[in-house]
Amino acid sequence: MRNPIHCALKLVGTFFCLGGIYVMLNAEFVAVIQVLVYAGAIMVLFLFVLMLLSNNEPSQVAVKWDAAKMLAVIITGGIFIQVASIFSDSALTLGEKGNYPLEKIEEIGSITLIGQLLFTEYVLPFEIISHTSLGRGDRCSSDCQTTF
C-alpha cells in the first residue's frame, strides 16, 4: 500500500487480531492491554501525526495481474488448503483423533504440542510457508519510487 494512513489503520486491525490471539491463549489481561495501549493510544497518536504530515495528493495504484502474481495466488491458495486440512485432521481436536490424548495435551500444553507437530510431522509445509512469505520481493520498474 502506498497510503500510510491505510497502512496504519491495517496495523490497528493487526493489533486487534493479536489481542484475539492473546484471548485464545487465556491471557485476557495481556489482550486488553494490547488493545488499549497499542491500538488505542499509540496508533491514535501515530495516525494523528500521519494526517498532519501527509500530502493531499490523491494516488491511484493500478494492480497489474501478470503470470507471476497469478502463480503466487494459486500456490498460496494451495498451501492454505493443505494447512487447513492438516489442522482439521490433526491431533489438536482434544484427543478425539490422533496419537495425543487429552491428558497429554493438558500435561505438555497445546502450544507446545503445536510446536512439536510443526517441527516434526509438518516441517515441510511449515518451511514452504516460511520461505514463501519471506521470499516475496518487490518488483519495481525504473520509474517506481520506494519509500520506507
Q: Place 148 in a pLDDT band, splitting at 50, 70 and 90.
A: very low
What would you report as the CA-atom Rg of the chain, rounded to the nearest whole angstrom? 21
Q: What single letter denotes the amino acid at residue 54? A: S
Position 8 scores a pLDDT of 79
pLDDT at 83: 79
Residue 26, pLDDT above cutoff 50: yes
Q: Per-residue b/e over 53-66, b at no fewer than 16 CB within 10 Å?
A: eeeeeeeeeeeeee
How far out from the chain centre does Cα 124 lie? 19
- Whole-prediction pTM value? 0.38
Percent of the chain surpassing pLDDT 70: 68
Measure CA 87 to chain center.
Answer: 17
Banded model confidence at residue 63, pLDDT cuts 50, 70, 90: low
CA distance 101 to 78: 30
- The more confident residue out of 87 and 18 is 18
Contact 77, 133 (CB under 8 A): no
pLDDT score recorded for residue 124: 85
Q: Which cell goes with 1?
A: 500500500
Residue-wise pLDDT tens digits, 73-111: 899 998 888 878 776 765 444 444 556 666 766 666 667
